[in-house]
Amino acid sequence: MEKYHGKDLCKACTREAFYLSPTEVINVIKVVSPATSANLGSGFDVFGLALSSPADEMRFREIEDGVRIKVRGYPVPESSEENIAGYVASRVLSAKGVEAGVEISINKKIRPKSGLGSSAASAVGAAYGVNELFNLEMSREEILHFALMGEKYFSGAEHADNIAACLYGGFTCVSYYPLKVLSITPPEFLEYAVLLPEVEVETRSARAMLPEKVPLASHVRNLANAAFLVAGMLRGDGNAIRTGIRDEIITPLRKNYIPHFEELSSAAIKAGALGFAISGSGPACIALCDSSKIAGEGMAGVLSEVYQKHGLECTTYAGKVGVGCSVK
């Protein structure tokens, strides 16, 4: 058992300094890394939304060398090379020439294979936390780069939609080659409700079923919808958001993974949702709401009732759009 002989709190960086002896200090920080919803219908691999819950809680402690991982909550590997947080932390330490190591304790509250950016939360949280712990002064672009390395290694695809939303917060748009992120503060009225069924979807499997070719008419309609979604977020226009979340390319292929998807969508729209979409690769689904008409909590109740009727298990989350990864 470690014995702490005193404890100071640095208000400037929320860093805890644990004094073990007159000469030895161990730095500790705590980071909250939120779930995210990617695609939002028309914006495959481009759009992302930070959620206010669920969120992983990560504790970073300086150690002599190497990377150690401790996990509670949803089970993920504790090997530093098999855990995406450990992988990203190792790459940051190596690239920045940090001579010390780090122990990362993860309270995993975002279920893996859920479509809620579980791996992105770990990847972003690791890069963000190591940067803060060792005062590396990395820019958000650098943190994004290291998190993307982890996503590419573990999912097999270089998609930055979840990690951008997790890092920047709000509503994000990603442009590739070169990688750029546009962060937009969504309208105040916007809330969300997420329904997560008790099934899992592998990101690799979900990507494997994507079409190699898309009809021109479908591409044009989705491009128009994506433009409307961005405009709706910028202008606070609920009707534009309603138009923008529609998708006729990816959703028809993936909805069969989600029990009673059409019934969920119908119930959400009937109850006043601005739109309903698969969250990332699924199986989670997200409804966007104008809180002046129906709050996220109320919409979560509508969605869960559909599953209760069929005797199916699910978890729901609801709230305002999140602010992204932050020191706790």
Respond yes or no: is residue 188 known to be catalytic: no
Residue 113's nearest CA partner among 261, 285, 281 is: 281
Q: What distance in Å separates the CA atoms of residue 192 and residue 49, rounded to the nearest whole number?
A: 10
Cis ω on the peptide bond leading into residue 54 (within 30° of 0)? yes
Instruction: Please say whether the beta carbons of 116 and 110 come within 8 A.
Output: yes
Which residues does 138 contact at the CB level (< 8 Å), separation at least 6? 92, 96, 127, 131, 146
Closest CA to 37 of 292, 300, 322, 239: 322
The set of residues, in sequence order, having a beta carbon less than 8 Å from that of 50 and lying 6+ positions away, is: 34, 36, 165, 166, 168, 169, 170, 172, 321, 322, 323, 324
* Element at 92 (helix H, strand E): helix 84-95
Query: CA–CA separation, 214 vs 191, rounded Å?
Result: 32
How is residue 86 annotated by DSSP?
H
Q: Which of 62, 132, 151, 191 is catalytic?
A: 151
Tokens of 238: 């609920």
| Largest separation between any pair of C-alpha atoms in the chain | 70
d(CA 118, CA 112): 5
Joined tokens for residue 212:
């190699």
Rounded Cα gap, residues 230 and 225, in angstroms: 9
CB 291 within 8 A of CB 189: yes
23 is catalytic: no
CA distance 74 to 76: 7
Say which of 203, 243, 251, 316 is annotated catalytic: 203
Q: Hey, which residues are catalytic here?
A: 151, 203
